[in-house]
Amino acid sequence: MISTTPQVTSISDLEVTPSGELYLFGTFSSMVDFDPGPGVVSYDPGREYSAYITKYNVDGSYEFTHALLGTSETDTMDLSLDSEDNAYVTGHFYNTVNFDPGQSDDIRSSSDGQDIYFTKINADGTYGYSYVFGGADTDNGRAVAVDKNDENIYVAGLFYQDADFDPTPNENIIVSKGISDAFFSRFNQTYFHFISDLQGGLVTETANGISVDDLVADAGVIRNSAETVIIRDDLGLPISEVVVDFTQDLDWSSISAETNLEDSKAFIHNLVAAPGTADTFGLYIADNPEMNTIVVCPGATTLSEVSLTCGGVYTIPKDDPSIRREVINNINYLVVPNLVGTGATLTFVEELADTETTTLIRTGGY
């Protein structure tokens, strides 16, 4: 399909649209004709090798190629499409790359070492945008995924030593704990970014894949330790923290989770069904200063079942020394630790009619 002399073209990933169009994402290191028909569409990769995104129609005819032309090496790792067939790609680059050559030009430079790039190419072949981030050492983008609403784009990979994960003039510098750590970042179409709690231990970790469902975007992190991971909803709000044994494969498909800030509720169900996940977990509840007690509902299987009458209900005072307090995105959270099996919580005020003063009692243990 792609004509090269000699054969110096690689394909790192491909995607097929629901209508049968084909996207290819890879590298090339000499002049290449990307049009298999009578036309000629060629690019010069520069000193080493550059990246390309090429689209072909259902009948195999050529549609477009967008090249990322560098002065050194521009490597390719992963490609993902949204519902409108826009392409999102990630990899790493060294020295300087023009992410929009021959049009408006979008030239970026790495920070001494290999930096991560994340680029959007629209379905008609026009350039969308690029974000680049990293540090002075080796940083790689290895996976990219788009959620079902086309609102959030997730990028995962690895970084060494210290790296700046904010592609704007601001800084968000994170230092790896070991040789390399995994990173997991989220963007939306108007630019929003965060680093998740998927980082690492004292040796080498990397995230090589992402799956996105209704619950959470999960980076397939290769580690050799048990660590705490925060599960968030599609807005990035924390729901639960769980201890995961990364020496085992993970399967989040049977887990359901939800949070409601207005009602101060949070819920997660069927955690023990996930291989590598411990039985105990913590739950994040948005604090309401007018409420003073936490109700735990081990028998609830949906958020709507969280109430004073749920199965196995027990209460914990908000001032219990085991309750941790955190501020995330300007929201005050109570973090209830050591919950077992399934669980949900609701804060409320309890007044006992058989006493002259309001008394808070614990009716169960955990």
pLDDT digit string (tens) for 204-256? Answer: 566 676 666 544 444 444 444 566 777 777 677 888 887 766 556 555 556 77
pLDDT number for residue 359: 30
Q: How confident is the model at residue 15 (pLDDT cuts 50, 70, 90)?
A: very high
Mean pLDDT of 269-283: 71
Please check the confidence at residue 115 and state whether its pLDDT lies above 80: yes
**Who's near 7: CB < 8 A, 6+ residues apart?**
none
Number of C-beta neighbours around residue 273 at 10 A: 13
- Nearest one of 156, 311, 285 to 220, comparing CA atoms: 156
Q: How confident is the model at residue 125 (pLDDT cuts 50, 70, 90)?
A: very high
Mean pLDDT of 152-175: 80
- Nearest one of 196, 113, 206, 222 to 162, comparing CA atoms: 113
Task: Give the residue carrying structure tokens 């026009």.
Answer: 126
β pairing state of 127-135 and 162-164: antiparallel
Q: How confident is the model at residue 86 (pLDDT cuts 50, 70, 90)?
A: very high
Please check the confidence at residue 187 and state whether its pLDDT lies above 60: yes
> Which one has a higher pLDDT value, 346 or 89?
89
Q: What is the pTM of this model?
A: 0.59
Please check the confidence at residue 159 and state whether its pLDDT lies above 80: yes
Mean pLDDT of 183-188: 77
Query: Residue 303 — φ and ψ, nearest 5°?
Result: -65, -35
pLDDT number for residue 23: 96
- Please give the single-letter amino acid code of residue 36: P
How far apart, in whole angstroms, are the C-alpha atoms of residue 55 and residue 123? 9
pLDDT number for residue 245: 64
Quote the percentage of the chain above a pLDDT of 70: 73
